[in-house]
Amino acid sequence: MTDPTYDYDLFVIGAGSGGVRAARLTGLGGKRVAIAEEFRVGGTCVVRGCVPKKFMVMASDFAHQFKTAEGYGWTVDASFDWPKFIEAKDVEIARLSGIYAANLGKAGVELIHGRAVLKDAHTVEITKGSGDKQTVTAERILIATGGRPWMPEMVPGIEHAISSEEAFHLPELPKRILIAGGGYIAVEFAGIFAGLGVETTLIYRGPNILRGFDDDVRAHLAGEIEKRGIKVILGCQHEAIEKTDTGLMNVLGNGMRLETDVVMFATGRIPYVKDLGLDAAGVELDDKGAIKVDHFSKTTADNIWAIGDVTDRMNLTPVAIREAVAFHETVYREKPMAFDYEAVATAVFSQPPVGVVGLSEAEARHTCAKGVDVYVTRFRPMKYAFTGADERVLMKLVVDAETDRVVGVHIVGPEAPEMIQLAAIAVKGRLTKAQWDATCAVHPTLAEELVTLKEKQSNNTSAG
Task: Count how many domains the chain has.
Answer: 3
Half-sphere exposure of 152 (CA within 13 A, CB side): 18
The 10s digit of each residue's pLDDT in 11-31 is: 999 999 999 999 999 999 999
Average pLDDT over residues 59-76: 94
Q: Confirm whether pTM is higher than 0.75.
A: yes
Looking at the domain assignment, is residue 111 inside a domain?
yes
Check residue 464 and give its pLDDT: 38
Kindly report the CATH number assigned to the domain that includes residue 287. Answer: 3.50.50.60
46 pLDDT band, cuts 50/70/90, is confident
Q: Above 70 in pLDDT, residue 67? A: yes
Mark whether 33 and 169 lie in a shared domain.
no
Q: How far is CA 19 from the centre of its chain?
A: 17
Residues in Cβ contact with 397 at an 8 Å cutoff, skipping those fewer than 6 apart: 374, 375, 376, 406, 408, 409, 433, 436, 450, 453
Check residue 117 and give its pLDDT: 95
Check residue 459 and give its pLDDT: 54
Check residue 68 and give its pLDDT: 93
Q: Above 90 in pLDDT, residue 281? A: yes
Check residue 457 and give its pLDDT: 85
Mark whether 281 and 418 lie in a shared domain.
no
Q: What is the mean pLDDT of the chain?
A: 93
Mark whether 373 and 439 lie in a shared domain.
yes
Angle of helix 317-332 versus helix 17-28 axis, rounded to 10: 30
Check residue 458 and give its pLDDT: 60
Mark whether 308 and 216 lie in a shared domain.
no
* Residue 52: cis peptide before it, omega within 30 degrees of 0: no
The 10s digit of each residue's pLDDT in 308-335 is: 999 999 999 999 999 999 999 999 999 9
Check residue 132 and give its pLDDT: 87
**Residue 371 carries which side chain, given as an amino acid letter?**
G
The 10s digit of each residue's pLDDT in 328-384 is: 999 999 999 999 999 999 999 999 999 999 999 999 999 999 999 999 999 999 999
Residues designated as active site = 443
CA distances from 419 to 2, 227, 386, 422, 453 (A): 46, 23, 24, 6, 16
Between CA 40 and CA 57 the distance in angstroms is 23
Mark whether 141 and 26 lie in a shared domain.
yes
The secondary structure element, H or E, covering residue 36 is strand 33-37
Domain C-terminal end among 282, 303, 332: 332
Mark whether 205 and 141 lie in a shared domain.
no
Looking at the domain assignment, is residue 104 inside a domain?
yes
Rg (CA), the chain: 24
Looking at the domain assignment, is residue 131 inside a domain?
yes
* First CA to last CA distance, the chain: 56
Mark whether 296 and 436 lie in a shared domain.
no
Average pLDDT over residues 202-218: 95
Q: Above 90 in pLDDT, residue 397? A: yes
The 10s digit of each residue's pLDDT in 164-190 is: 999 999 999 999 999 999 999 999 999
Q: Above 70 in pLDDT, residue 441? A: yes
The 10s digit of each residue's pLDDT in 95-112 is: 999 999 999 999 999 999
Check residue 388 and give its pLDDT: 82
Mark whether 135 and 25 lie in a shared domain.
yes
Half-sphere exposure of 213 (CA within 13 A, CB side): 28
Looking at the domain assignment, is residue 54 inside a domain?
no
Check residue 171 and give its pLDDT: 93
Looking at the domain assignment, is residue 76 inside a domain?
no
Domain C-terminal end among 299, 332, 365: 332
Average pLDDT over residues 196-204: 96
Please state the φ and ψ torsions of residue 19, each to the nearest 5 degrees.
-60, -40
Kindly report the CATH number assigned to the domain that includes residue 350. Answer: 3.30.390.30
Domain span including residue 171: 158-267
Half-sphere exposure of 171 (CA within 13 A, CB side): 1
Check residue 91 and give its pLDDT: 95
462 pLDDT band, cuts 50/70/90, is very low
Percent pLDDT > 90 in the chain is: 90
The three-state secondary structure class of 187 is: helix
1 pLDDT band, cuts 50/70/90, is low
The 10s digit of each residue's pLDDT in 413-432 is: 999 999 999 999 999 999 99
